[in-house]
Every structure is written in structure tokens, then in C-alpha cells.
Structure 1
Amino acid sequence: MRRSAFRHLAAALIFISALFCCLAYRTPLLRPSLAHRVRRPAVQMTLSSPSSEPSVLFVCLGNICRSPTAEAVLRKLAQDKGLRVEIDSCGTGGGSDNWYKPDGFSYHEGEPSDERMSTAAKKRGIRLTSRSRPLRPDDFDRFDLVIGMEEKNRQEIFRAARAWGRLDEAVRKTVLMTDYCREYGDVTAVPDPYYGGQKGFEKVLDLLEDACEGLLQKLVKEREPSAASERRM
């Protein structure tokens, strides 16, 4: 009887262990590596015309740290590969609440990039030459892609676009910089380094170099069908 009871107890323990393993695999709380996996959305880009070069506008808060760096990084990558891409950057007022209004004010407008950001970029052979400007309504006509550094930027773009009557275009064209990350695939934002230390600027460069490589690959792939269609014509 004791042996039979022991066998039943052992079988029950095996069953409970197997059940726990199944739950551990299926339950996100017990499987953090899978629970935190980020799925990147498919980003589609439509060129203005088959013969046009792709155009990209980077957007951050003040247009003095992240977006001008993204502009410079992508420009250098494109030049190194002999590719033609129209590139610019802008901000969403730098914290001003009325920046997108006709009589609105935009912080940092006309200023060069943050010196700390410029210094960090220069050490990697990247030169920041643009001056800060706010997003404008005609940017949605001029650029194929509008790329925000974080979700706050995207929502601010939408807020301005709604006021300008350009929301449909903004939604269609606006994506996030981290959508193109490869090495840093679990990152969902390029953080603002303005109030941090030097490591923050280095982190921004790491993320932007990674994302811009992915972006450039995407631009090349999107351009190939257009170029092939143009040759057939």
C-alpha cells in the first residue's frame, strides 16, 4: 500500500511540474524575455514621383540635439554610399505651447545645435550644421517621411497638423526613429539628452547611427521599384 501511495504521489508531482512548465511558457509574467519583445510596425514610404529622390524630415522638441544629429548622421551615411536623399530637421516649439499658431513662438529658433551634442558628434566624424526651426505646414508637402524621436514628438506633430488641416497627411507620413533600429530593437524612443550628462549624448548617437543605417536600407529598397518602373517607361 505504501509503495502504491508513493507511486501515486510521484506521478502527481511530475504532473504538477509539467503543468507549471507549461504555464511558465505561456504566461508573460513568468516569461519576461518574450513579454517585453517589441514588434516594429511595417513602415511604408511613397515617393512624390518615381524620378524624385527620397525626402526625410527629422523632428524633436527643440531641434538642437536629436533631430539635427539624425539629419547629420543620415546625410553622412547617404554621402558615403553615393545616395541622394533630401534631408532636413525641425522642432515642435521647444516647449512653447503656441508654436504652431500664426502668432506663436518657438524656443531656440535660429540657434545652432547644442554645443555638447555637436562636440560628441564631431568625435565620430559627424558635423552638425543646421539651425533650429519649427515644423511648418508645407513640410507635409515637401517630405515623404516625417520622423519623430519619441511618441511625444509624434503627438505634437499631430496636434499642429490638426490645427493646420493636415492631419491625414501627418498620420500617413509620420513614424518614429526607433522603428528603424536594428541593434537596439527593444528601444522605443530616442531620449532627450538636454538635461543629462555626456553619456546621454553618446547614447543618442548610438541609437541614431543604428536607426539611420536601418532607415537608409529602407529608403534604398523603396527606391528600387520606383527606379525599375521609371526605366520601363
Structure 2
Amino acid sequence: MMTKVLFVCMGNICRSPSAEGVFRHMIDEAGLSGVVQVDSAATHTFHLGESPDARAQAAARKRGYDISHCVARQVKPEDFREYDLILAMDWENLSALQQQCPKVYHHKLMLLMRFANEFEEATVPDPYYGGVEGFSKVLDYLEDACQGVLEVVRKRVTQYQAA
């Protein structure tokens, strides 16, 4: 049974592709790439078809994550059915997802930072209009929260394998 995780931000060029890269790296290291699928998407259409922001790519590369393959796309109606966890970067994007999502799938929608263990912030700040240091801070948050997501996914995979 494949577990599918979708990371979502406004434009899908900074936070969500960075989260995808961090989490993809973690599942590869955990040996779960055959049973966990990860992707990212946008709530808005601002950057569809674009690669991640150059600053996001540079910050990710410094930490050993490759997000150059990511291409911005918008959340599709079928994503709500197909993904097990749909993780928003902030309240605005969570609200946008809740408005689009059929009620039957609302349980899949959550803020990513609810999985964080080190940081107490509720949301991942948008680094787009700030300096390079903002992208590094975002990666700190993403690494923490994605570690928590990995723990949940690992338990889920173990439960399916035992059943």
C-alpha cells in the first residue's frame, strides 16, 4: 500500500518544493521510497510550469537536497482523493485547500508544522519577498516537521505490512 504525501504552498516555487525535496531525501534514506510517494503543489496559479525559486534551490543544494526537478503545478481535484496527507505551509493555504476540498477528505488537510518537534511556530513563513536567510530558516522548519511526518508515515507503512 503506497502512502502519498502532498506539500502545498501558494505558488509552489519556494516552501512546498523545498518540503518535497527534504521529505524525498528522508524517505530515500529511510528505505521507504518504494512505499511513500511525495509531491508538491500550489493553491494559486502565479507560477505554474516554473522551476523552484533560484534562492530556494541554492539553499536546498547547500543542505544536500535537489529540488531542481520540481515544476510548479496547482492542486487538482483528484489530489484530495489520491493523497493521504495534504500538508499546508500556512493558514491561508490551509483555508484555500479547505474551500476546494470535498468534506469527505477534510481529515487529510493539516498544517505541516503540527508535525514539528523542535519549533513551536504554527506555520512555515514565506521567504519569497525576503533575503536568503529566510530560505535557510524555512529549511530548518521543514527538516523538523518532515522528521515528524516521517515518523507518522513509517508507523503507517509498518501497520500495513503487518496486516
TM range (shorter): over 0.9
Letter aligned with residue 99 of structure 2: R
Q: Secondary structure at the match of 2:99?
A: helix
CA distance in 2, matches of 1:116, 1:198: 7
- 1:123 equivalent to 2:62? Answer yes
Q: Secondary structure at the match of 1:138?
A: helix
Provide runs of 4+ in structure 1 moved above 6 Å.
none
CA distance in 1, matches of 2:99, 2:51: 26
CA distance in 2, matches of 1:192, 1:64: 10
CA distance in 2, matches of 1:208, 1:154: 16
Aligned to 2:72: 132
Aligned to 1:109: 48
Q: How many Å apart are 1:136 and its aligned residue?
A: 0.5
Higher relative contact order (CA 8 A, sep 6+): 2
CA distance in 2, matches of 1:58, 1:77: 14
Q: Superposition RMSD on alpha carbons, in Å?
A: 0.9
- Structure 2 residue aligned with 1:183, among 111, 118, 133? 118
Q: How many Å apart are 1:204 and its aligned residue?
A: 0.3
Letter aligned with residue 92 of structure 1: T
CA distance in 1, matches of 2:59, 2:136: 7
- 1:217 equivalent to 2:157? Answer no
CA distance in 2, matches of 1:219, 1:110: 29
Q: Which structure has the larger Rg?
A: 1
Q: Secondary structure at the match of 2:40?
A: strand
Q: How many Å apart are 1:160 and its aligned residue?
A: 2.0
Letter aligned with residue 181 of structure 1: A
Aligned to 1:160: 100
* TM-score normalised by L of structure 1: 0.67
- Structure 1 residue aligned with 2:109, among 174, 177, 184? 174
Q: Secondary structure at the match of 2:77?
A: coil
Q: Secondary structure at the match of 1:55?
A: strand
Q: Secondary structure at the match of 1:189?
A: coil
Structure number with higher strand proportion? 2
Q: Deviations over 1:56-104 (max 9, x none)?
A: 00000000000000001000011111112100000011xxxxxxxxxxx
Q: Which runs of 5+ in 2 are unaligned?
A: none
* TM-score normalised by L of structure 2: 0.95
Q: Deviations over 1:19-72 (max 9, x none)?
A: xxxxxxxxxxxxxxxxxxxxxxxxxxxxxxxxx121000000000000000001
Q: Deviations over 1:166-206 (max 9, x none)?
A: 1331x11101110110111x110000000011111000000
- Structure 2 residue aligned with 1:202, among 120, 131, 136? 136
The percentage of counterpart residues that share the same residue type is: 41
CA distance in 2, matches of 1:219, 1:160: 25
- 1:228 equivalent to 2:144? Answer no
Letter aligned with residue 137 of structure 1: P
Q: Secondary structure at the match of 1:159?
A: helix
Q: Secondary structure at the match of 1:87?
A: strand
